[in-house]
Amino acid sequence: MSTIYKTGFKNLRQLRNMNPIEMGVFVTLLILALIIAYITIGLKEIISDH
């Protein structure tokens, strides 16, 4: 997990050097990852309820 956080911090530092298109792609991927995580957590809760 620590390596993921380290690469995450590197990416945050690189964000300042990104052009708007790359920034848009990065933000879109970040939002998609959050949505996928939210759905998987929600599905696990639904399955555990039944």
pLDDT per residue as tens digits for the range 1-50: 567 667 667 777 776 776 888 888 888 999 999 999 999 999 988 888 76
pLDDT of residue 35: 96
CA 30 – CA 50 distance, rounded (Å): 31
**Domain boundaries defined on the chain:** 19-50
How many of the other CB atoms lie within 10 Å of CB of 26?
A: 15
pLDDT of residue 33: 95
pLDDT of residue 21: 84
pLDDT of residue 22: 81
pLDDT of residue 30: 92
Structure tokens at 27: 């933000």
**The length of the chain, given as a count of residues:** 50
